[in-house]
Structure 1
Amino acid sequence: MEKAHIYIYGEISSYQSGASQDWGIVNLTSVKEQVDRQKDAKEIVLHIHSVGGDVSEGFAIYDFLKSQGKPITAIIEGNCFSVATVVALSSEKRKMTSHAQVLIHNPWGGATGDKEHLQNYAKMLSEIEDRLSEFYASKTNLNKEEALELMAKETFFNAEECLKNGFANEVLETIKAVALFDKNKKIDMHQKENSKEEIKTKLNFLAKGIDAIQSLLKTKSSPKNIVLQDANGTELDFPDLEEGKDPKLGDKATVNNAPAEGEFVMPNGDTYIFEIGELKEIKEAEKTDDKIEALKKENEKLKEEIETLNAQNKTLNAQNKILNETSDKALIQMKKIAEEFNEFKKNISSSFEYSPAIEKNEDYFKNKKNRKIFK
């Protein structure tokens, strides 16, 4: 094996796990495992596409790669940000694609605690900043002051700027693949026969592929897992029933994820009978003629009831008329009586005159000759 290909794809993290790459994480463990699987290689090729991450882990990967004592070529295939640039600069040959980019910036982080702890953390960030600027000065065309200035600005470099500043020494151009038949080229007949067999094999393979695709499309055009509702709104889930098809005996169904059991009356009047999720019987709805006959009988019965009610209503109306006439006569009579009574009240008078002398005349009260009532 001439070359060991090592992939720095993802965030650089100090979290050490063999499955870290499944989570888009690169660490010293994952890099070492890749190197160990290719021990016989005489050269290391780094493929880099990373947003950076933990500074200490980045330098640990750098030191490990350098300790292998093998020529290293770095290929920046996308992003090479932050501490990922440290890993890239472990190489002597630095290549990058035309659309790749590099980013350098000051280290940053977060801390909690008292002021002494925060001051120590700020001091540590300053030391790392100084260390990174010296590192860039030793590996690129930048001096320390230039590196510090560009880091403070959070500077992005395109491919040309990387060439200028020493982060890369080659830009990979896109290679165009061209297939061209040379009609002047001599063809070996034996090779031609082999080509025919190859074409035949490929055509057979293509035909099988087309059949598979058509089968897949047919399956997709007939989606399964049809859900029907009975007359009460209960959902019957038929997992194997194709769209547009009616259930038949033997079909399976579930209700609320449990095998359907018992009778279910459908909106069209049919009754589905299930046992342990299997459709055992379909009772068809009554025939239309029977329904019409039943409706006719019910209609005749309703007509008779209506006629009876109309007769009762006619009798009640007659009785009501008599009551109204009697009431009117009674009102007229009462009005006449009231008028006579009022006239009677007007005609009532008395000739009695009070005299103190009369009080002493006992004969007056005994005989009451002077008191008259007119009627």
Structure 2
Amino acid sequence: MAKLRIYNEIVNEEDKVFLQDWYGTDGVCYKDIPEFLDSMEEGDNEIDIRIHCPGGDCIEGWAIYDALRNSGKTISATIEGECSSMATIILLAAPKERRFGFENARMCIHNPAVAWLDLWATDRLTADEIKKLKAKLTAQEISLIEEQNKILNLYVERTGADRNELQALMNEDKYVDMSRAAELGFIASTLAPNTDRKSNSSKSKKMAKEQIKIENRLFKKLLSMAGIAKIEDVKVLDQKITAADGTEFTVEREDGDPQVGDKAYPNGTYVLEDGTTIVIADEIIESITPAGEGDGDGDGNGDGDGEDAEGLKAKVDELTQQVEDLTEKVNTLTSEKEALANDKAQLEADKTALETEKADLQSKVKTEEETEILDIVAKAGGKAWLENLKGMSSTFTTSNRKFVEHAGGGEGEQGETRAQKALREQREKNEAKRKAKAQ
């Protein structure tokens, strides 16, 4: 059975290299899994996953889960310390009956989140830039909702727990113990300590007693050679070491610095104040990496790394503050936009009311022709005259009028009207003038 230890944060390959080069710590990425599978002995078809991990990158976590599920191996998984966030996805690569947790371990499931808002803007936020920021925020919101549903779907499928109950726990974002994890179906059972088990075999008991007698005789002889009268005079001291992040671990060594092979616990990776990294696995110090090793600065004291790390931390703090300020600006602008939208709606309502009033007034306005007619009526006598005119009727009828031929008079031609006579006389004058000019 091959042991796969997930003891560090889940990161992508680039971040893993960064952590190793700058902080001397390690991470778990997808690339580690195919390499682990390739390193397994031929014929070994079992993988025992040991988890002490706070979670990390969603993409890498899903890739690790898929690689394990498609490995064709029989998988078991045990929570040794912490199993949170994407580490719970890796836990579910094992079938339910082969998932376990130590009594003092803990687990946390929560909704996915972004560590950094993927935003960028200048000091001056134009309308176009605000629109772009809103589009980016909306895209990230949709992506997070899709990821949340994807995680929740797997939880329901692999645990059998109620979807609403799981979502409520994700919303709370808090740790639960292993008994609660078992109730929800994340593990099958809790593992109790096995160091105090008693043997039911009388033969084993007898052999153990004989072994103890031999060891006691040898021990007393060693004490005598060291000038010690009794065991109570021997002071056995362990080293309790505090890492830079405040976590503690114990090394069973009375004096001197911890060495590879020393017994130590609990398992995990610890970075000391001077930058030294100590990795404990199976309660044995597996590796000790001095600060600055492999960084290429040539001085070996790690000062350059510390200064760079401090500068990087200051830069991260500065960027974090910028993101917070920008988020506050976006929230303020969003509120202002909502207020402007309300004002716009009110103005549009006022405009509609004014247009209606204008149409009503226009319907009451007289045309120029109507105004002239009204003026004529007013001059003629107003309404009384108009009423009188309406009451008038013609006295002419077909019986009291007739048409006769008009007779011309004077020197005009027979039958000329007065108008025709005037036109004829004018033509004759014009003709006489032309003849006079021609002579």
Please tell me the TM-score bracket, short chain as reference.
Answer: 0.3 to 0.5
Provide the TM-score with structure 2 as the length reference: 0.41
Larger Rg computed on CA atoms: 1
Work out which structure has the larger RCO, using CA pairs closer than 8 Å and 6 or more positions apart in sequence. 2
Give the TM-score normalised by structure 1. 0.48
